[in-house]
Amino acid sequence: MGGRLDGQVAIITGAGQGIGLAYAERFLDEGARVMVADVNEDRGNAAVEALGGRGEIAFVRTDISDPASADACVAATVERFGTLDVLINNAAIYHDIDHTDASLEYLQKITAVNQHGTWLMGRAAAPVMVAKGRGRIVNQASGAAYSYSGFPTMDFHGLGNYSYPITKWGIVGLTKFMAAQLGQYGITVNCIAPGITMTEATVKTVPEEFLSIMTSATALKSRLEPEDLAGAAVFFASDDARFCTGQTLVIDGGLAMPA
């Protein structure tokens, strides 16, 4: 039996570590060929080395917030693999996030990567998919987009930190506009909104006390691992999701339950 993504070519942004790396691993296991697009060269090369035995994988250094770099990423992918079927827009400022900076400059910086970068990569990828009459784009929001009121016992969701959630809420909206525009060309655009996921970045940026409070507030009462998200990315990239577009799937163990 073949994989669910046999022969598909996928760009996965931010696949140098964490959730993106888990997506890359699962996509290779499902038969996809993967381009790791990460701004961090060491992490990108390490991902290719770690996963090279599972299938065809390559790395192109990409800054998703730079229009020329986003375009070059797509061009390099087409040159290396001959086409492009799937774009996983996973990269964001997360592991080096500053929860305390409430300046306009910081909001602009985080928006440039998380939101504009998602838009730029979609803009770069769309022409290849339009020409094929088929494509899959999967954006990455966050459960943080749904935590408007925060948690009164902690200052973690204080004034300084809501720049990140609003970029992620913007991605939920962007997903709908992209889906509406690109559907006529056979391109679906969906979104995954993970709850707090146990990546290196989370361990670094989220206080353990907050993690415990969040975990006990979920229905499942357990912590989410990057591998728990990969099946949803495969589904959105596959033909099983042919008629599904503009949707955001919150995977957080039962916390936000927005729909």
Name which position in 4, 9, 10, 16 contacts ligand NAD (CB under 6 A). 16
Give the active site residues: 164
Q: Which amino acid is at 142?
A: S
Give strand pairing partners of 34. 10, 57
CB of 168 to ligand NAD, least distance (A): 7
- Whether the CB-CB separation of 10 and 37 falls below 8 Å is answered with no
Instruction: Give least dist CB 13 to ligand NAD, A.
Output: 5
Are 143 and 197 a contacting pair, CB within 8 Å?
Answer: no
Q: Which is nearer to ligand NAD, 64 or 129 (CB)?
A: 64
Under the binding rule (CB under 6 A), the answer on residue 197 touching ligand NAD is: yes
CB 172 within 8 A of CB 194: no
- The Cα–Cα gap between 131 and 134 comes to 8
Phi, psi dihedral angles at 250 (to 5 degrees): -85, 120
Among 65, 175, 218, 245, indicate the residue that binds ligand NAD (CB under 6 A): 65
User: Where do the DSSP E strands lie in the chain?
Assistant: 9-13, 33-38, 57-61, 86-89, 135-140, 187-194, 248-251
Residue 233 engages ligand NAD in binding (rule: CB under 6 A): no
Q: Which residue has the tokens 């730029």?
A: 120
Q: How far is the CB of 185 from ligand NAD (least distance, A)?
A: 25
| Contact region with ligand NAD (CB under 6 A), list: 74-82, 191-199, 207-215, 239-247 | 191-199
Least distance (Å) between residue 141 CB and ligand NAD? 7
Nearest residue to 79 (alpha-carbon basis) of 109, 110, 58, 101: 58
Q: Does 218 bind ligand NAD (CB under 6 A)?
A: no
- Kindly write out the interface string for residues 113-152 of this chain, putting x where it contacts ligand NAD by CB under 6 A and - elsewhere: x---x----------------------x-xx---------
Question: Within 73-112, which residues bind ligand NAD (CB under 6 A)?
Answer: 90-95
Q: In this structure, which amino acid lies at residue 220?
A: L
Give the dihedral sign, CA 46/68/11/94.
positive
Which residues in 150-189 contact ligand NAD (CB under 6 A)?
none
Residue ranges binding ligand NAD (CB under 6 A): 13-14, 16-20, 38-40, 43, 62-65, 90-95, 113, 117, 140, 142-143, 194, 196-197, 199-202
